[in-house]
Amino acid sequence: MEILDIVVVGGGPCGLACAIEASRQKLTHIVLEKGSLTESIRKYPKRMKFFSTAENIEIGGIPFSTSNVKATRDEALQYYRKVVAYYKVNFRLFTEVTGIAKQGDVFEVHTRGDERFFAKNVVIATGYFDFPRILGIPGENLPHVSHYYDEPFKYSFTKVVIVGGGNSAIEAALELYRHDVDVTIVHKFEDFTPTAKYWLTPDLRNRIREGKVKVLFHTEIKAIEPGKILIENNQTHEPRELPADFVFLLVGYLPDAKLLKESGIELTPDTLVPTYDSQTFETNVKGLYLAGTIVAGIHTEKIFIENGREHAKAIVADIASKHSVTAEK
């Protein structure tokens, strides 16, 4: 039974940054990733461009060179793949972690395939993109409904309803409109989210003014049926039907609280913010750390690659300092 220094759960940019830091500090490690490498980025809309400049999403100090200032999804996927290969990061893909249990000073990490990994420390870096906010309305699971926007061509010359008023909804609406899609945005608030990308909202507002994209504010979706949705104005309570060949429910994502709770991490009930030391990112369970967006609970907009990648150095420095104390003894 090999006892590693660190098991990292999640092969996104922040988990990978931890593994790179571990290998620099000569700590034995493995990254267990339930999907492909950087699975969340792979699931982004296919033509997505990052809002961060390329250097702000670099990891391991490897320059990210792009032809434009901001990288595309494809460029980022290639970049992270190359960085991981360069550092010879030890990882296992399509290996979902289902449980983390501490016995004495050693963590036993279980996977869905019934494998077990043992480590003195575990870093959970599972992000949030796997768990869309569920509206709990009839028809949410129909085949023409999705919580992830993928690409525009598939929807050309169809009617698409987008539910949501944040960046994902705005970007999808503009891209679809530019591919001959009849787009209607349904949003429960009076305006788009104030944190929407400042260069996108004027573009969308102009298209709305021209009548090329439709928007219904103060409106909630109540049910989805094949070919149509049922909506209601949340001020007048007037119900209405809208035609919809496809529906995107782009209302955000939530972290996986189950794995954290079952590992013994204390969470604030309403925000799912875990208990952790803000200097070292160690949780209330000794030797169990958090990295990346997962530290922000439901406030997923607070931590992104730009600032989440910085967690790696603090975490691994803390682990390395304990390691050297143990080695000296």
Q: Which is nearer to ligand FAD, 54 or 215 (CB)?
A: 54
Segment interacting with ligand FAD, rule: CB under 6 A, options 82-90, 123-131, 269-277, 281-289:
123-131
Report d(CA 163, CA 121) in Å as an integer. Answer: 41
Segment interacting with ligand FAD, rule: CB under 6 A, options 84-92, 178-186, 261-269, 304-312:
304-312
Interacting residues with ligand FAD between 38 and 97 (CB under 6 A): 39-40, 44, 48, 50-52, 57, 96-97
Segment interacting with ligand FAD, rule: CB under 6 A, options 37-45, 81-89, 182-190, 264-272:
37-45
Segment interacting with ligand FAD, rule: CB under 6 A, options 8-16, 136-144, 226-234, 268-276:
8-16
What's the number of CA atoms in the CB half-sphere (13 Å) around residue 31? Answer: 31
Q: Which is nearer to ligand FAD, 124 or 231 (CB)?
A: 124
Report d(CA 211, CA 313) in Å as an integer. Answer: 50
- In DSSP terms, 184 is beta-bridged to 161, 214
Residue 131 in the binding site for ligand FAD (CB under 6 A): no
DSSP 240-286: EEEEESEEEE---B---HHHHHHTT--B-TTT-PBPB-TTT-BBSST
> What tokens does 235 get?
């001020």
Tell the smallest beta-carbon distance from residue 155 to ligand FAD (Å). Answer: 17
Is 216 in contact with 161 (CB distance < 8 Å)? no
DSSP annotation of 54 reads G
Tell the smallest beta-carbon distance from residue 175 to ligand FAD (Å). Answer: 12
SS3 state at 79: helix
Footprint on this chain of ligand FAD (rule: CB under 6 A): 9-15, 32-35, 39-40, 44, 48, 50-52, 57, 96-97, 125-127, 129-130, 168, 256, 259, 292-293, 304-306, 308
